[in-house]
Structure 1
Amino acid sequence: MKETQYWRRKSEQCLKHSKNSFEYRQLMIEALRKQINFAAYCCTLTDAHTLFSVGAVTEHSIEAIHHKIMELEYATEDINKYEFLVCSGQYLGRLSDSTSQSLRYREVLAPHGFSDEIRAALTYQGQCYGFLTLFKKAENEQPLFQDKDLALIKILMPVMGEALKEFHHYIIEERIPAIEGEQGIIIFDKELRILSSNTKASELLFILRKHESLSDIQVPKPIQAICAKLLADKYKSSSSLIVPIKDTGYITIHTSLMLTSQLEQQIALFINEASPKEMLNFLITAYNLTPREKEVVFEIIKGIPTKEIAYNLHISTYTVQDHLKMIFQKVNVSNRNELVWKIFSRFQLD
C-alpha cells in the first residue's frame, strides 16, 4: 500500500498535467486503478454547502444508471448515503459491511452485475469537495472490496479533497455569454426527459454537457442531483446551485416543482449566468472570508465609509481597517474600488 506522501506527490503530478478538475480526477483514478481492482467509478466535484454535484467523471456503465442512483439517494433511506457519510463524520463506507441489504444494491447495482461499492467523501479541513465511488463486478475473482482497499482510500481522501477545494474555489475571470433580458428555461418530466426549452437554455445546457464530455441526450450531473433532491423533498418546491466552469464562467441552476392539470409532476429549471448577488455569496465563501469580514464587504458594496461601518458594526475604525487589510489580502486587491469590481460589479450585465 502506498503511503500518504506517495499520493501527495502523485496528486501534485496530476495537477501539473491537468487543465481542469475533470482531467485531474481522471488521472488520479487511473493511478488508483493500479492499486485497487475495481470495475467502474464515479468521481464527483461537489458544492461544499449543498453537497450537490457540480460535475462528475463517470465510467460509461455507471453513466447509464446514475440518474436512478441519484433518485434513490434523495428519495429513500439507504446505506452509506453521501450526506450521511459527511454529516456523521464517517466519510468512508463499504456496502458489503452492512448486515442489511441496500435498496440501491437490490434495485440498481445487482441487476447491472455489480457486487460491491465503496463510497468516500473527499474532505479537507472539515468541508466536503467531492465524492469518490468505486464499484466491483460480481464476476470478478474478488467480488468484494478488501480492508486494504479501504485503507488506501482513507489515505487518498484528504489529498484529493484539498486539490478539489482549489478547483472549486478557483476564481474564474470569464463570463458566460448571455442573451440580455432572456431567462433560460427547460421543462422536464419526472424522468428528466426534456419536454420543452428556449434557445438560451439549450445553449447553456450544451456548455454543461461539454463540461462533462456528455452526449447531446445525456443529462448533466448537477441537473440530475438538484432535480432528484427536488422530487424527493415534497415540502420544498425549489432549490438552486452555482456551477463553476473553468475558462468559461459561472452557471446558476434554479428548479421549481410543478403539477399538470392531471397532477403529474414536472420540473421547471431556470438556467442562467450567475447574477452579481449570487456571485457575491459564492466568492465570499471561495475567498474564505470570516462572518465579520463578510459584514464589512456588504457595507463596502453599499459605499459606506469606514467610520460609518465601525458605527454600524459596533467596532472601532482601527478594527475596520484591520478587516479591510485582511480582505484585500485574501481577494488580492489593493483598494475598495478593486474589491467591489472583483466580487460584484463585473458580474453585472452591460
Structure 2
Amino acid sequence: MAAVPAAGVALTAYLWETPAGRFFSDEDAGFVAEVAPVLATRLRNGLHPRFTDGDAALVGDPVDDPVDDPAEPGTIILDEELSVVGTTGAAWRWIERLGLARPGEIEPLPTVVYSVATRAALSRAQGAEPPTSARVCLQAADGQWTVVRAAPLVGAAGGYVLTLEAARPQDVAPLLMQALSFTAREREVATLVIDGLSSEDIARALFISVYTVRDHVKAILAKAGVSRRHDLIAVLAGNTQSR
C-alpha cells in the first residue's frame, strides 16, 4: 500500500498481485505516482458545484446553436490520449442538465465521462476483438435518466466516441430492479410484465403456475411502491413521479 499526496488530495494506492500471480513492480508504482496528480485533480474537481453562465469559456465550449431539442443526443470525440477532439452543442447541454462540473481548461470534461472512456480504452488495451463499449446510467435533478456510452473508433486514427442521450426503459430497468432488491425470478417476471405479457403468458414462458406468477407480481408491486402494473412499468422506466 502506498499513500501518494497530490494536488491537495492524499491518494492511497493498493498494489496487489496480478492475475498471473506477480506483484506490481517499482516501475508500476512509479507510474501510479506520476498519474496521481491528474487523478487527484479530477476527484477533487468532481466535487465542485456546476459551472454557471458567468464562468470563463473552456476548451470545447459550444457556440450558439439554433437547434435546442432536449432529446437530441450529444456527441464527444476523444483521441487515443482521451483529449477532446470535438463536441456537439447537445453534449454540453446534457452535461449541464446532469449538473456535472467541468474540471478546467486542460481537463475540460467531467470525471464520469473520462471514467466511461477509460473503461472502453481498457477493453482495447486488453486486446478485445472487437473492443467493447462501456456505459453508465445517471439521473439528472429533474428525474431524467441519461446514458453515457463510450465506444472505440475503428481505424488507424483510433480514439473514442461518447454519446449522451436519454436512457431507454431497457437501459434503466435492470438498474432499478437491482436497486429495489428484486430476486432473480422477480426480475424475469418484471421483464415480461414490461413486455406486456399477461399472467397466463408469463406462466407459460417461465413454466410456472399462474398463481406463482401472481405471487411474484404482488411482491414486485410492493417493492416498487405501486399497486398497478402500468405504474410498475413507469417506475422501471425511470419515471419517479409514478411512485
Question: Structure 2-normalised TM-score?
Answer: 0.67
Of the candidates 173, 176, 193, which is equivalent to residue 83 of structure 2? 193
- Is the partner of 1:185 in helix, strand or coil? strand
Question: Are residues 341 and 292 of structure 1, via their aligned partners in 2, closer, same or farther at CA, if it must alter by over 3 Å?
Answer: same
Of the candidates 60, 79, 90, which is equivalent to residue 15 of structure 2? 79
Residue aligning to 1:136: none
Equivalent residues, number: 201
- Is the partner of 2:109 in helix, strand or coil? coil
Tell me which moved more, 267-276 or 299-308: 299-308
Residue aligning to 1:242: 137
Counterpart contact for 1:211–1:245, Cα < 8 Å: no
CA distance in 2 between counterparts of 1:247 and 1:180 reads 13
**Partner AA of 2:121 in structure 1:** L
More helix by share: 1
Residue aligning to 2:31: 107
**Partner AA of 2:93 in structure 1:** E
Q: For structure 1, which runs of at least 5 residues remain unmatched after alignment?
A: 1-37, 41-58, 67-72, 85-97, 114-131, 133-177
Residue aligning to 1:266: 159
Q: Superposition RMSD on alpha carbons, in Å?
A: 3.7
CA distance in 2 between counterparts of 1:61 and 1:277 reads 41
Question: Are residues 242 and 226 of structure 1, via their aligned partners in 2, closer, same or farther at CA, if it must alter by over 3 Å?
Answer: same
Question: Are residues 100 and 327 of structure 1, via their aligned partners in 2, closer, same or farther at CA, if it must alter by over 3 Å?
Answer: closer
Does 2:147 match 1:252? yes
CA distance in 2 between counterparts of 1:227 and 1:317 reads 45
Tell me which moved more, 316-325 or 215-224: 215-224
CA distance in 2 between counterparts of 1:270 and 1:230 reads 13
Deviation at 1:331, TM superposition (A): 0.6
Deviation at 1:212, TM superposition (A): 4.9
CA distance in 1 between counterparts of 2:206 and 2:112 reads 38
Q: For structure 2, which runs of at least 5 residues remain unmatched after alignment?
A: 38-42, 44-67
CA distance in 2 between counterparts of 1:99 and 1:318 reads 55
**Partner AA of 1:79 in structure 2:** L
Question: Are residues 308 and 340 of structure 1, via their aligned partners in 2, closer, same or farther at CA, if it must alter by over 3 Å?
Answer: same
Counterpart contact for 1:254–1:271, Cα < 8 Å: yes
CA distance in 2 between counterparts of 1:248 and 1:319 reads 33
1:322-333 map, 5 Å: 322-333=215-226
Deviation at 1:323, TM superposition (A): 0.6
Deviation at 1:271, TM superposition (A): 1.1
Runs of 4+ in 1 over 6 A off after TM superposition: 110-113
Residue aligning to 1:228: 118
**Partner AA of 2:91 in structure 1:** A
1:27-75 Cα shifts (integer Å, max 9, x gaps): xxxxxxxxxxx775xxxxxxxxxxxxxxxxxx74459xx9xxxxxx9xx
Counterpart contact for 2:16–2:23, Cα < 8 Å: no
More strand by share: 1
Counterpart contact for 2:143–2:238, Cα < 8 Å: no
Percent identity over the alignment?
A: 22
Residue aligning to 1:56: none
Counterpart contact for 2:172–2:238, Cα < 8 Å: no
Residue aligning to 1:282: 175
Question: Structure 1-normalised TM-score?
Answer: 0.49
- Is the partner of 2:119 in helix, strand or coil? helix
**Partner AA of 2:15 in structure 1:** I
Of the candidates 185, 188, 205, which is equivalent to residue 95 of structure 2? 205
Residue aligning to 1:309: 202
CA distance in 2 between counterparts of 1:287 and 1:279 reads 12
Deviation at 1:110, TM superposition (A): 6.3
